[in-house]
Amino acid sequence: MAETLQNLLLGFSVALSPQILVYAFAGCIIGTLVGMMPGLGPLAGISLLLPATFGLNPIIAVVLLAGVYYGAMYGGSTTSILMRIPGEAASVMTCVDGYAMTQNGRAGPALAIAAIGSFVAGTLGVVGLMLLAPTLAAWALRFGPPEYTALLLMGFFILAYMSGGSVPKTLAMAALGLIFGMIGIDTMTGYTRFTFGVIELGDGIGIVPVAVGLFGISEILLTAGAVAPPKVQRPKLRELVPSGEEFRLSLGPIGRGSLLGFLIGIIPGSAHIISSFVSYGIERRLSKHPERFGQGAIEGVAGPESANNAAATGAFVPMMALGIPTSPITAVMIAALMVHGILPGPMLIQQQPELFWGFVASMYVGNVVLLILNLPMVGLFVNLLRIPYAYLYPCILCFCILGVYSVSSSVVDVWIMLAMGAIGYALRKFGYDLAPIALGLVLAPMLELSLRQSLAMSAGDYAIFIERPIAATMLGLGALIVLFSLKPLISKGKDWRASVGLESERS
Amino acid sequence: MSSEPSGTEQARGPRGLRNDQFSGLILIALALFIGWENRAFPVGSLQDPGPGYMPLGLAIFLGLIGLLIAIRSGDSPFLLAAPWPEARRAVLILLMCGLAALALERIGYRLTIVALLILFLGVVERRKPLPVALVAIGFSLASYYVVGDLLLVPLPRGPWGF
């Protein structure tokens, strides 16, 4: 514990330097604005800002991008509460009771509780990250190729089970993502696969064009024909203070949402989205007056908002400790670190303690910045929503083209982004979840390499995955999850999605 | 016999493939295509898996999952009944962005963005010429200044150096 505190002090000495503070501040503001814009969620925002971090030092780059991430999580809740427009998918549940509170004249307290819940959850999440990541990293040093193969396979099974959509559709998307990840030169043999004569594809498909296309362009294609935005309310500062009763009702949901969100955040998938749905379902079930939900219950804002922010922090645990992204957002963050020659994983915390602990401390700072910045300035930020969408979406498209081109100065990346936009649009119309594609793309080289190395180690004997205890445990857990996943396919009983109303909301 | 649909047929609504059947079949077709393209790469053996090993496994898996999705399509809506009101505009947006991708390295970033924004705002959204011109030129120059000049990200210039 003393060592952790000492490391944290080291982190704060990095995070409180004026330069880092400025970038954390800038990241939070950019993130808030990005989160408020329909069509630009945290993923597209981080992807588009990635080229701008190439010239920065790695700590600043990761602090800036993390600021964008949790700033966007907060910004999404503002539009959900004031306009019933979720700036990003994790804020869908906040729309329900948040907007109802706005209609009841309680927009201010809804925004305040969302901000306080996000702050508490974010802070608790960082404590969890601080305590869990080094332990996990130390344990992961025992991992060899079979353990990594088992871990990645287990991750895909958990992703399929926890995903908001149907299990077969999620698995199909994960397979599609893995196939996209096969494009390019095979690192073990030098064979060039599925490039169809396009030289630029030799290096494979990058995560940025895929992420911007799937999540940014497809959203614009779906919403481009939207009518003029509804009237925007601008709550005044004095209207933000919640009543004592509202505070009392929010305490439990904030605590439960923080814990639940952090745990779900560690699991692969669209954790921040799923956690908000699950939290809403739990709060509705625990409430003595469930009929209030949908009519402006503050618990329906406090729970999901805390959960999605805690999940955003939880996702950094496997990223930092294992080098494995559990969401497309952390995949882009890993890409950002790799540009600077840093490979997240078990050795990162030992070899670059100032980076890890500086990042952890900057998250504390970022949470405080968001709380101080966003509540008084909410009236200023909502002005962005007054820009007619007819002007906004062409500018967002230009940003997408600019951002994707900037990553590697390649028009092929722009074409990939457009193709992914079209694919994402069609898949969303058919009810497919897109996050597994991005995850599959990023994890494919790691999975293929570790699988082939494992088989080479064992002379082709698949028993290597059972003989090694860590790998066997993870595969056993994966098999158990597969069995749970198959239950709704076989029987007509409801699974967890139906009980929290997830499928109906997402379809 | 009348060619008009009867009342009973109208009440039944559109028939044909369901959404999940269609998407499942597309996945199967994609799996077959990947399997076909994968012929060029040695699959290897269990002891020494080749570059075609994992793509083949994934193609088989994708095909099977596609089949499962197509078979379990009971509650899925009919393909023809699904609303696609934004499809025409979506295609138009993609075509315009495609044109921009073609033009980007030929006429440079600034001119491409000006042209693209004029097309979107003036032609698609039918906004007034003055705001269109201001937004198009302003966005193009400002974004070039921030990204190209301040952040030093190399952006393409046209043959006229602009």
DSSP string spanning A388-440? -HHHHHHHHHHHHHHHHHHHHT-HHHHHHHHHHHHHHHHHHHTT--SHHHHHH
> For all residues of chain A together, what is the average pLDDT?
82
End-to-end CA distance of chain B, in Å?
68
Task: Supply the pLDDT for residue B9.
Answer: 45
Residues of A within 8 A of B84 (CB-CB) are: 429
Q: Degrees (nearest 5) of the Cα angle A105, A107, A112?
A: 140
The pLDDT > 90 percentage for chain A reads 13
Distance CA B4, CA B105 (A): 55
Task: Supply the pLDDT for residue B5.
Answer: 44
Contact between A224 and B152 using a beta-carbon 8 Å cutoff: no
Residues 337-396 of A with CB under 8 A from B: 390-391, 393-395
Contact between A221 and B86 using a beta-carbon 8 Å cutoff: yes
Distance CA B62, CA A173 (A): 9
The pLDDT > 90 percentage for chain B reads 60
Confidence at B12, pLDDT banded by 50, 70, 90: low
CA distances from A489 to A167, A168, A494 (A): 9, 9, 10
Average confidence (pLDDT) over B122-132: 91
pLDDT exceeds cutoff 60 at B8: no
Task: Supply the pLDDT for residue A237.
Answer: 62
A202–B contact, CB cutoff 8 A: no
Average confidence (pLDDT) over A300-314: 88
Distance CA A253, CA A335 (A): 35
Distance CA B112, CA B108 (A): 6
Shortest Cα distance, chain B CAs vs residue A285, angstroms: 27
Contact between B104 and A221 using a beta-carbon 8 Å cutoff: no
Confidence at A165, pLDDT banded by 50, 70, 90: low
The pLDDT > 70 percentage for chain A reads 88
Shortest Cα distance, chain B CAs vs residue A410, angstroms: 9
Domain ranges of chain A: 2-227+242-496
For residue B60 the two structure tokens come to 């088989």
B46–A contact, CB cutoff 8 A: yes
Task: Supply the pLDDT for residue A93.
Answer: 78
The counts of H helices and E strands in chain A are 24, 2
Task: Supply the pLDDT for residue B4.
Answer: 43
Average confidence (pLDDT) over A370-395: 78
A409–B contact, CB cutoff 8 A: yes
Distance CA A78, CA A384 (A): 12
Task: Supply the pLDDT for residue B2.
Answer: 40
Burial of A241 (0-12, 13-18, 19+ CB in 10 A): exposed
pLDDT in tens, A107-155: 888 888 888 888 898 888 888 888 888 888 877 777 889 988 888 888 7
pTM tops 0.95: no
pLDDT exceeds cutoff 50 at A505: no
Establish how many alpha carbons lie within 13 A of residue A81's alpha carbon, considering only the half-sphere containing its beta carbon: 34
Chain A CA closest to residue B109:
A402
Task: Supply the pLDDT for residue A507.
Answer: 35
Chain B CA closest to residue A489:
B72
pLDDT in tens, A460-485: 888 999 999 989 998 998 888 878 77
Average confidence (pLDDT) over B67-76: 87
For residue A143 the two structure tokens come to 């991992």
Residues 6+ away with beta carbon under 8 Å from A256 = A279, A282, A283, A286, A303, A306
CA B73: distance to chain centroid? 24
Distance CA A371, CA A374 (A): 6
Shortest Cα distance, chain B CAs vs residue A130, angstroms: 33
Residues 387-406 of A with CB under 8 A from B: 390-391, 393-395, 397-399, 401-402, 405-406
Q: Of A133, A116, A135, A94, whose CA–CA distance to A258 is shortest?
A: A116
Q: Which of B72, B93, B131 sits opposite A224 (nearest CB)?
A: B93
The residue with greater pLDDT, A254 or A156, is A254
Q: Are A405 and B104 in contact (CB under 8 A)?
A: yes
Mean pLDDT check: name the lowest of A181-185, A207-211, A404-408, A503-507: A503-507
Task: Supply the pLDDT for residue A408.
Answer: 81
ipTM of the complex: 0.90
Residues of B within 8 A of A163 (CB-CB) are: none
Distance CA A242, CA A254 (A): 14
Count of CB contacts below 8 A, A vs B?
167
B113–A contact, CB cutoff 8 A: yes
Q: What is the SS3 string spanning chain B?
A: CCCCCCHHHHHHCCCCCEHHHHHHHHHHHHHHHHHHHHHHCCCECCCCECCCHHHHHHHHHHHHHHHHHHHCCCCCCEHHHCCCCCHHHHHHHHHHHHHHHHHHHHHEHHHHHHHHHHHHHHHHCCCCHHHHHHHHHHHHHHHHHHHHHHCCCCCCECCCCC
Contact between A225 and B53 using a beta-carbon 8 Å cutoff: no
Task: Supply the pLDDT for residue A423.
Answer: 95
pLDDT in tens, A245-283: 888 989 999 999 999 888 888 876 656 677 887 888 888
Residues 59-78 of B with CB under 8 A from A: 59, 61-62, 65-66, 68-69, 72, 76
